[in-house]
Structures are given as C-alpha cells and as structure tokens.
Amino acid sequence: MPLKKVRVVVYSLFVSRIGYALPAWGGFVSVEHCCKIDAMFKRLKRYGYTTDYLTFSDLLDKADSDLQHAPELSLFKSRPSPSSHG
C-alpha cells in the first residue's frame, strides 16, 4: 500500500477516534494516559505513518477551540434578546 494511503488510514483510525467527543471526555484523561497517547503519536511520526507530530494536548486545544467557534452549536442564538423581555 502506498505511504500516502497508509497515512490516511492511520489518521482515520487513531486521530479521528481519539478526537471523537474529545471536549466531553478530554478533561478526565489522567497524566499517565496522556503520556501514553503522546508516546503513540511519537512512534507514528518516527515510523513515517504521519507527517505531523501530534500531542494529546494539541488535539484537546483544537477540539475546544472548534467547539467554541461552531456557530451551529452556539447557545446565544436560542436565547431571547434582552429587549424582548419587555
């Protein structure tokens, strides 16, 4: 299998599965598990399965940022405006 396709499979299996619902469960990950995840990403980079050096904290920060900036998930549009209360 060409290396480019292997990288797509690795990204699909590892990064997307770890990133799934990460803002919800990321705060509960222990330091030990965080280090294990980082070590796995380091090995993936070392063996050429990914081009980026990823860390768990980077993925968590990106997931939190994406969640905060998602307009379809904003609670503010469902709240009535202050002037409509009368």
For residue 63, the model assigns a pLDDT of: 83
Domain ranges of the chain: 3-69
- pTM, full prediction: 0.70
| Contact present, 38 and 55 (Cβ < 8 Å) | yes
pLDDT digit string, tens, across residues 21-74: 888 888 899 999 999 999 999 999 999 988 888 899 998 888 888 777 766 655
From residue 31, give the alpha-carbon distance in Å to each of 18, 34, 36, 55: 16, 5, 9, 13
Q: Quick check: 37 and 31 in contact, CB under 8 A? A: no
Can you tell me the distance from the alpha carbon of 15 to that of 13, in angstroms, rounded to the nearest whole number? Answer: 6
